[in-house]
Structure 1
């Protein structure tokens, strides 16, 4: 049997999702293993991890060779373990004898630069890297309201809303499902807060877009795309994420809720519904092929799309390691499909004549 490895930074990460995949692996002709990049012995190339016992339907601690087929579900932070694992994963992705289901995406800035040269450029909020605090002040003077976000961020972490009032500057963010606000009396005080932030990690600056519903709740459309057992892209499902009133984020990790797409779209006029359907189809039909042409092969993509009050659609984020909560909550009948998908696509890769998987680029680690 071909060995199929699922790689995370700890064994608690997405434990139920990984268990569901593993419990179906044997029926797909795959032997499932779960391991951490840091558990690879650099001398023996053996891994200390877990093997799924198909008969007992449980995990068993075991040492094994690095699996030739890997599903990467590593989410990196600023901690030392993440920093230790990044070069190890980079080494794994460069090896010719290992096939990854997907190679990931570059950071938000490089992704923006790639998509801004494509036919999807009208759907992108204008983005620039913050080189200095003066960039923020300049943007506030011309736009009054802006958003800043980490170039390598995920799950809405580290996003700030800034608004220039007549004499003060208002800064708002969300932490631990709470909205936190600060008022700075002048630019100097803002600089004292902002400079350490942009020194610590690179940030992007974007215009603030009104992407809230009539109840002043931020909302967006989450779409999950995956490749099927024949290597063809398809849309698995989509749902609406709704955030807290007056907040910035619709992420479920920030306390957001979900509703199914048909229920939401049924509140729209027939013309608006048709317009949004056509726009979403254009985005989902083009995005995977643009990314794979310019970057590297992928297995799945989560797309977050915001809708402005004037009906304009904006691509807010693209993630190559998407979660499944929105889809499973709004379309629970897709559960079996989503648990089998990595295994079926893995089988396709093993047996595909055209591997098309390499010309490795180490910029694809973050997402």
Structure 2
């Protein structure tokens, strides 16, 4: 049987998704394992993790060699355990006897540099690396707020709206249960706060674009793409994520909610509906190929797209480890496809070992 391993930094994360996937694995002649990268013995290279037992319908402790196909669902932070696991995953990516379902994306700054040279560039917000407080504050002009966000990861966390109003500088960020704001009376005080915030993590900044609906909720379109059993990109679903009133981000982890794409788009005039659907189709048709021309193979991507009131479309984020809540909430009939897609593609990879292999994966670890 094909051995399939799910990697996570925390076995408590995505438990229901991993369980649903594992329950279906046996039908595909696949043995399913789960483990944390740091649980690999550096001397024997054997792994202490869990094996899914179809007879008991549960995960059981087991020791095993590295599975043939790995599904990386590790979300890294700045802690020592994340850094340790990042190094181990890079080592696994370099091994010729292992295939990853997808090799991930570089950080948002590198991704911007790659895509700004493609025909996707008109959909990208101008993005610059945060280097120091003085340069950032020089770019902050009255009536032109900026968004400051981490260059790697995020899931809606650590994103700041920063606005200059007279001599004051206003900062807002969305937490899980509320929005937090703070006003600095001078550039010097704002610079001190910025230096403290950015000391241990790389940031980028972009112009703020108002992407709110009639209820003043920030919203975006989440589109999930995955490769099918033939290795062909396919849209699995799309839905709308709406944040709290007056919020900055629409992520579910910061208090957002879902509606179906159909319920959202029907509110637009027919001519604008047609335009938006055509633009989304162009992005879906173009983006995966643009990424894979420059990067190692992928399995899935979540595309977050913002729409201004005038119909302007912006790609806000591209994630190689997307969540599934938006699709499950707005299109529950997609459940079976979502849970079996990794298994279908794992079988495809096993049958076409050299087709999806690539080397030099180190730069794809951040997401």
What is the match of residue 301 of structure 1? Answer: 301
Shift of 1:301: 0.3
Shift of 1:28: 0.5
**1:201-212 map, 5 Å:** 201-212=201-212
Gaps of 5+ in 2: none
SS for the counterpart of 2:141 is: helix
Distance (Å, rounded) in 2 between the aligned partners of 1:354 and 1:136: 46
Q: Could you tell me whether the CA contact under 8 Å between 2:156 and 2:251 is conserved in 1?
A: yes
Distance (Å, rounded) in 2 between the aligned partners of 1:64 and 1:143: 58
Shift of 1:142: 6.7
What is the match of residue 28 of structure 1? Answer: 28
Gaps of 5+ in 1: none
How big is each residue's C-alpha offset from its partner over 1:236-289, in whole Å with a ceiling of 9 and x where there is no partner? 110000001111010000010000000111111000100000000000101111
State how many pairs are aligned.
Answer: 367
Using structure 2 for the length normalisation, give the TM-score: 0.98
Query: Are positions 1:273 and 2:273 aligned together?
Result: yes
Shift of 1:176: 2.6
Distance (Å, rounded) in 2 between the aligned partners of 1:285 and 1:332: 24
**1:4-153 map, 5 Å:** 4-141=4-141, 144-153=144-153
How big is each residue's C-alpha offset from its partner over 1:297-330, in whole Å with a ceiling of 9 and x where there is no partner? 0000000000112210000000000000000011
Shift of 1:353: 5.7
What is the match of residue 238 of structure 2? Answer: 238
How big is each residue's C-alpha offset from its partner over 1:2-44, in whole Å with a ceiling of 9 and x where there is no partner? 1111110121110110000000001001011111100001111
Q: Could you tell me whether the CA contact under 8 Å between 1:144 and 1:165 is conserved in 2?
A: no
Q: Could you tell me whether the CA contact under 8 Å between 1:143 and 1:207 is conserved in 2?
A: no
Shift of 1:200: 1.9
Shift of 1:149: 0.5
SS for the counterpart of 1:13 is: coil
What is the match of residue 173 of structure 2? Answer: 173
Distance (Å, rounded) in 1 between the aligned partners of 2:233 and 2:34: 26
Distance (Å, rounded) in 2 between the aligned partners of 1:22 and 1:251: 27
What is the match of residue 322 of structure 1? Answer: 322
Q: Could you tell me whether the CA contact under 8 Å between 2:105 and 2:295 is conserved in 1?
A: yes
What RMSD in Å do the two structures reach over aligned CA positions?
A: 1.0
Q: Could you tell me whether the CA contact under 8 Å between 2:142 and 2:164 is conserved in 1?
A: no
What is the match of residue 334 of structure 2? Answer: 334
Q: Could you tell me whether the CA contact under 8 Å between 1:220 and 1:306 is conserved in 2?
A: yes
Distance (Å, rounded) in 1 between the aligned partners of 2:137 and 2:23: 54
